[in-house]
């Protein structure tokens, strides 16, 4: 069997052999072992979020990608007379805005530059002056650039004005420590194929139970009804529709491996080390990061295209891919960049190989100094 390429992307990620092997079993949706695994995973997700059922929190697994999970929350928890404030500094904030538009949810958009941390004073001014707002949504790690938004400080403002707080933690949950209760988050969403290092197949939401119960009857879709999904899982441990059995088995193993690594702090340490080595190595090759160092997270890093006439990103990407190194195109609206993820089953030795391959590709493309 050919060796898998290394994925320096924000997900799907390079996974361990043991996570992949966990999928080599077939279970029916009503199998007792599978139902117990779902129960265990849901409990462990609460633990990773720093909360518990006793404190009034629930975890809800939803089939589909992370975007399915975000849309499940947006389309389920905001009532017909609700109004969503969306704090946007990248493509994934824009995606939430598009969801609200499609579901005809009234919204206020606060748009900041992609390299700008949202202004807390501006957010407070909007919350204070716009009485229509009932819910606030923001991205934690905006994967467009890798910037980390200050969700704890935003959460303080959201609760100061009595609103419901929604956080897209797709690229951060499991590697960037967050206590959901302390951050005053009502709904935080992520997916199986991100920092917990499972495989694609489902998203999950950690929810404040009171806020979740208020979503009953609000859903604008059948399949993405967050409350109905939770109600089904609570009543008999089963999904309303066909569950992602193999992905959940892999995720259960992935959580076990996360715990063995030292939990979220241990994973954060490895990812931070990857990020530091990557940035230092790329700088040595002549590349410049898009974000200043004080705004960079350690999940994914954006780099400017080299200012050299021979550089063509498609060729650059293809040549790296041929060497077994898969990076990520840029998603910035105004600047030409590409991105390199620091997450997944990636270690310093892998970063070293990637940097060596990038140096070889630059030489092959006739790019020396830029």
Each residue of 213-261: pLDDT tens digit?
A: 999 999 999 999 999 999 999 999 999 999 999 999 999 999 999 999 9
Candidates 322, 343, 361, 273; CA nearest to 5 is 322
Q: In which band, very low, low, confident or very high, does the pLDDT at 188 lie, cut at 50, 70 and 90?
A: very high
20-42 pLDDT tens trace: 999 999 999 999 999 999 999 99
111-145 pLDDT tens trace: 999 999 999 999 999 999 999 999 999 999 999 99
Does position 52 have pLDDT exceeding 80, yes or no? yes
* Share above pLDDT 70 across residues of the chain, in percent, rounded to a whole number: 99
Looking at residue 3, its pLDDT comes to 82
Q: Is 123 part of any domain? A: yes
Q: Is the peptide bond before 12 cis (omega within 30 degrees of 0)?
A: yes
Q: Is 1 part of any domain? A: no
* Share above pLDDT 90 across residues of the chain, in percent, rounded to a whole number: 96
Q: Are strands 337-341 and 328-329 parallel, antiparallel or unpaired?
A: antiparallel
Does position 353 have pLDDT exceeding 90, yes or no? yes
Cα–Cα distance list, 189 to 49, 57, 266 (Å): 11, 13, 21
326-344 pLDDT tens trace: 999 887 778 899 999 999 9
Final residue in a domain of this structure, among 243, 260, 277:
260
Q: Is 326 part of any domain? A: yes
* Unique residue bearing structure tokens 């809800």: 60
One domain for residues 337 and 237? no
Looking at residue 330, its pLDDT comes to 80
One domain for residues 174 and 126? yes
Q: Give the total number of structural domains in the chain.
A: 2
Q: In which band, very low, low, confident or very high, does the pLDDT at 1 lie, cut at 50, 70 and 90?
A: low
Tell me if residue 204 falls in helix, strand or coil: strand
Residue 55 CB neighbour total at 10 angstroms: 12
Final residue in a domain of this structure, among 260, 281, 303:
260
One domain for residues 289 and 255? no
One domain for residues 80 and 204? yes
What is the domain extent for residue 64? Answer: 18-260
Q: Is 343 exposed, middle or buried (0-12, 13-18, 19+ CB in 10 A)?
A: buried
- pTM here is 0.96
Final residue in a domain of this structure, among 233, 260, 287:
260
Strand partners, 359: none
One domain for residues 322 and 245? no
Give the CATH number of the domain where residue 130 resides.
3.40.640.10
Q: Is 370 part of any domain? A: no
Crossing angle of the two packed helices 66-77 and 91-102, in degrees rounded to 10: 50
205 sits in which H/E element:
strand 202-208
In terms of phi and psi (left: phi > 0; alpha: psi -120 to 50; beta: otherwise), the region of 56 is left
Summary mean pLDDT of the chain: 96
Q: Is 185 part of any domain? A: yes
The dihedral over CA atoms of 110, 112, 116, 121, expressed in degrees to the nearest 10, equals -40
Cα–Cα distance list, 363 to 243, 282, 310, 312, 337 (Å): 48, 14, 11, 13, 20
Sequence-distant (≥ 6) Cβ neighbours of residue 64 within 8 angstroms: 202, 203
Q: Is 97 part of any domain? A: yes
Strand partners, 188: 167, 206
One domain for residues 168 and 250? yes
One domain for residues 227 and 298? no
Give the CATH number of the domain where residue 348 resides.
3.90.1150.10
Q: Is 52 part of any domain? A: yes
Q: Is 369 part of any domain? A: no
Pair 274, 351: CB distance under 8 Å: yes
HSE (side-chain half, CA atoms, 13 Å) at 279: 20
Looking at residue 19, its pLDDT comes to 98
Sequence-distant (≥ 6) Cβ neighbours of residue 351 within 8 angstroms: 274, 277, 278, 281, 342
One domain for residues 275 and 202? no
């Amino acid at each position: 069997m050919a060796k898998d390429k290394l994925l320096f992307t924000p997900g799907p990620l390079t996974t361990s052999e043991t996570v992949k092997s966990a999928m080599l079993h077939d279970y029916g949706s009503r199998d007792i072992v599978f139902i117990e695994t779902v129960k265990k995973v849901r409990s462990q997700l609460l633990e990773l979020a720093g909360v518990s059922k006793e404190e009034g929190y629930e975890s809800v697994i939803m089939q589909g990608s992370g975007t399915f999970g975000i849309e499940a929350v947006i389309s389920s928890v905001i009532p017909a007379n609700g109004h969503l404030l969306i704090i946007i500094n990248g493509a994934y904030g824009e995606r939430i805005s598009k969801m609200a538009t499609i579901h005809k949810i009234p919204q206020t958009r606060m748009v900041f530059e992609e390299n700008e941390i949202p202004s807390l004073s501006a957010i407070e001014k909007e919350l204070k002056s716009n009485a229509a707002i009932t819910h606030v949504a923001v991205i934690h790690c905006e994967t467009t650039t890798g910037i980390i938004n200050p969700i704890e400080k935003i959460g303080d403002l959201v609760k100061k004005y009595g609103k419901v707080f929604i956080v897209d933690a797709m690229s951060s949950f499991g590697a960037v420590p967050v206590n959901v209760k302390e951050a005053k988050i009502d709904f935080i969403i992520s997916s199986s194929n991100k920092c917990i290092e499972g495989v694609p197949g489902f998203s999950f939401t950690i929810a404040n139970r009171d806020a979740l119960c208020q979503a009953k009857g609000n859903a604008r879709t059948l399949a993405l009804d967050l409350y109905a999904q939770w109600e089904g899982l609570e009543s008999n441990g089963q999904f309303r529709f066909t569950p992602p059995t193999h992905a959940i088995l892999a995720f259960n193993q992935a959580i076990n491996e996360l715990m063995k690594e030292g939990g979220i702090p241990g994973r954060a340490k490895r990812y931070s080390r990857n990020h530091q080595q990557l940035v230092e190595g790329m700088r040595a090759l002549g590349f410049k990061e898009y974000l200043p160092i004080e705004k960079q997270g350690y999940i994914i890093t954006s780099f400017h295209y080299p200012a050299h006439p021979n550089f063509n990103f498609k060729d650059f990407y293809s040549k790296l891919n041929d060497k077994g190194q898969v990076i990520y195109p840029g998603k910035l609206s105004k600047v030409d960049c590409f991105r390199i993820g620091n997450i997944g089953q990636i270690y310093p030795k892998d970063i070293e190989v990637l940097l060596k391959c990038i140096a070889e590709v630059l030489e092959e493309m006739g790019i020396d100094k830029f």
